[in-house]
Amino acid sequence: MNPGNGAPEGSLVPVRTVARLSQYRRVLDRLLDEGHRQVFSHQIAALAGGSAAQVRRDLMLVGCRGRPSKGYDAYGLKGCIEELLQAPGGQRVALVGLGNLGRAILPFFARYRPALRIVAVFDNDPRKIGEKLVEGCSPCQGMEELEQTVRQSGITIGVLTVPPGAAQGAADELIAAGVRGLVNFAPVVLEVPEGVFVEDIDLTTALEKAAYFAHHAGKPAEGGA
């Protein structure tokens, strides 16, 4: 559980802050597109939906510095955030479970920046094996090839789009092969050793939250993930 937070002990930057930084970077891309060379905390806050003080504190926490009255240098700030968010040589991602959701997510991530690349897909359905999927990603492989492929490709991140009953097993295999971060779409709480991070995306719970607050619409505001 730990809905939305989860405390990486001993780690540098809190989970919430990392999530916000990811959004700040997206906002920065947009501001750069629009020709801004300097940005202010209140601009980022407006576009990312937070408060200016929050933005400043987040940036301070990760050592991005601005200058009074001149704001932050847009390029410098983007670089500063990316330096924190991205591993030097990029990171490789494996997706497990080529169902509807897996297929939908694949192109979504595939056309994504080079720092994170889905390079392998696994499924246990023989009919799916060998299927060519997206540019830069090996054709679908069987689960028995998972460990070796993940290890050899240096994959460190796994996306789980398998049925609930298969999620823990798939997670175990990925972790055994060296994966340290998981995005889990299965509505199951995964047991993972310390040092492995799990980001749960629970569509059912998300819908139920929206349903609850839609129903009890007194005056709720925003939620998020």
Window 61 to 90, contacts with DNA (CB under 7 A): 65-72
Residues 95-154 that bind a second copy (CB under 8 A): 99-101, 103-105, 107-109, 112, 115-116
The residue among 56 and 103 lying less far from DNA, judged by its C-beta, is 56
Q: How far apart are CA 64 and CA 78, in angstroms?
A: 9
Stretch that binds DNA, among 3-11, 95-103, 149-157, 172-180 (CB under 7 A): 3-11
The residue among 147 and 199 lying less far from a second copy, judged by its C-beta, is 199
Length of the chain equals: 225
Task: State the minimum distance, in angstroms, from the CB of residue 19 to DNA.
Answer: 9
For 97, other C-beta atoms within 10 Å of its C-beta total: 25
Task: Name the binder of 47 from a second copy, DNA, none, CB < 5-8 A by kind.
Answer: a second copy
Site string (23-62) toward DNA, x via CB under 7 A: -----------------xxx-------xxxxx-xx-xx--
Task: State the minimum distance, in angstroms, from the CB of residue 94 to DNA.
Answer: 28
Q: 170 with 145: CB under 8 angstroms? A: no
For 39, other C-beta atoms within 10 Å of its C-beta total: 22
How many CA atoms lie within 13 Å of 57's alpha carbon, on the beta-carbon side? 9
Tokens (6 digits) for 6: 């989860």
Stretch that binds a second copy, among 67-75, 82-90, 119-127, 142-150 (CB under 8 A): 82-90
Residues 18-47 that bind a second copy (CB under 8 A): 18-20, 22-23, 26, 47
Q: How far apart are CA 187 and CA 200, in angstroms?
A: 8
Bridge partners of 197, per DSSP, are: 181
Task: Name the binder of 67 from DNA, a second copy, none, CB < 5-8 A by kind.
Answer: DNA
Helix axes 15-33, 74-85, angle to 10 degrees: 140
β-pairing verdict for 141-142 and 155-160: unpaired
Identity at 15, one-letter amino acid code = V
Residues that bind DNA (CB under 7 A): 2-3, 5, 7, 14-17, 40-42, 50-54, 56-57, 59-60, 65-72
